[in-house]
Each structure stands twice: as structure tokens, then as C-alpha cells.
Amino acid sequence: MTRTAFFISDGTGITAESLGRSLLAQFENVEIRKLTKPYIDTIEKAHSLVGIIEATAVRDGVQPIIIDTIVDQKIREVIRAAPGFKVDIFSTFLEPLERELETHSSYSVGRTHAIASDAAYMDRIHSVHFALDNDDGARTHQYDQADVILVGVSRCGKTPTSLYLALQFGIRAANYPLTEDDQDEDGTLKLPPVLAKHRHKLFGLTIDPRRLAAIRHERRPNSRYSSMDQCMQEVSQAEALYRQLHIPFIDTTRFSVEEISTRMIAETGINRRVSPR
């Protein structure tokens, strides 16, 4: 039996979905179809969604799970009439919080997200362009403005991590690829001179060579670049360099971009410039 869960919001739906997925992830044995319904911000949209929920209940033969972060009372009431098992985040927690904070809440979740401060917006956009300009060692003269410089072999996750750090936290992340160009005459990887004076900003990424080979194979099948020998050699040299110079690093093999980013922040204590939304 497949059940359906609806994550409903009058805003982006990010909070409802993130909480809903975390809760339902606890039930590995239950097959749950997950539908996010953002921007349910009018009575009409709410009624139309109730129709969808009713049809889903009939089709599934069991009531859907409804997880919502709708603030508007009139819209809530419409959704409340839908058949479903309701996880009502706001009404559950807002009242106790009102007592604790000894004040009334303002019911403005949607708006809060919309009125982003100009400064925070500019910071995030600036950081995204910083990450783009300083991607893959393309430019190295702005490293004094970087909050962090990610280093690692090609395709270990540097670019997506830099961009996530910029978009989510406004962190200015450059990244620099460790390649054979930076080996000395006996084939040992050396810290490129351009990085030497920013050693305190370096953060290393590493990866299981088998995973690396698979990722590179997608890009250039059956090449030297994607061969196991090459991947093993590059990864072991990069890790040796991190250890020798005490560059903090993490293994990205089993981590999502979110995890790589948040772990890096937790380990280095780098300040976020803006709060995630």
C-alpha cells in the first residue's frame, strides 16, 4: 500500500518539505509518495488542493499525511477540512512559544521570507559570482578576499560545494584543482606557490578513488583521466599533501553537497555571511 504525503505551504514549501522528509525518513518500511505544494496563498488555491487531497485519499484507499506551514488562518481552515492525518507544526509549537516568550506571534512566515534584506541578497549574489570567477583555479589574484579556498583533485566536489556555500551562506569560496602540474621532479605533489601564502584558508576535499573513477568515467569514458590507477595516484598524493601541511580535509565520498558544506563550516568555524532561508 502506497501512501501519499502532502507538504503544504503558503511560501516556498522548503520548511514543510524539509521537516516532512526528515520525519518520514524514520519510516523506511512504508512507501510514501511525497508531494510538495508551495504558494497555497489564496482560498481558491486551497480549495483546489483540497480536491486533489480528496481524490488522493480515494485512490490510495487511506488518508494522506498532511504536513503544513500555512500561517493564514482562513487558508488553514480550508486545508483542515481535507481528509488527512495532520502534522500541524505551527499550531503545535507557536502557542507554547508565545507563553515562553510572553508575547503574541505575528503570523508572518511567508512575508518574512519575502522581505529579504538587500544587504543579504547582495552578499549572496556577490558570493555566487565570486565562486564562479574563482572556480577551478581560473583566477588566483582574489584569494585575499576568499573566506575559504577548497582544494582537491578534479571532480571531487569542489565546484558544487563552492556554489552551495555561496548560495546558502554567502560564503566566498574559491577552489583550486590539484593536478600533475603541481608535482615536483620526483612526481611528488607540492603546494602550488599561489596557495602557499593562503594556507590558513585552505580546506581539502578527498574521495574514494573508485567513486572518483566512476564520476570521471561519466565525463570521459575509458580515458587515462578516469582510470583507477590515475585516480588512486592522484587521491593518495592529495591526501599526503593535506597530512604533511596539516590542511584540514574531509572525505566527500558518501556525503551530499549540504553535508560537505555544513561539515566544513563546523570544522573550520568560518563565519556565514548570511543566514540560510
Residue number with CB closer to its own copies (209 or 241): 209
Residue number with CB closer to its own copies (110 or 191): 110
Residue number with CB closer to its own copies (126 or 190): 126
For the chain, state the CA radius of gyration: 24
Any known ligand binding at 20? no
CA distance 21 to 182: 44
Minimum distance of its own copies from residue 100's CB (angstroms): 5
The one-letter amino acid code at 109 reads: V
Q: Closest Cα partner for 148 from 204, 202, 193, 197?
A: 202
Any known ligand binding at 154? yes
Any known ligand binding at 158? yes
CA distance 268 to 146: 14
How far from the centroid of its chain's Cα atoms is residue 93's Cα? 26
Minimum distance of its own copies from residue 160's CB (angstroms): 5
Minimum distance of its own copies from residue 125's CB (angstroms): 6
Minimum distance of its own copies from residue 124's CB (angstroms): 7
CA distance 108 to 96: 17
Any known ligand binding at 11? no
Distances 59 to 9, 24, 68, 111 between C-alpha atoms, Å: 23, 21, 22, 35
Any known ligand binding at 51? no
Residue number with CB closer to its own copies (130 or 143): 130
Task: Output the known binding site for ADP.
Answer: 152-159
Task: Output the known binding site.
Answer: 152-159
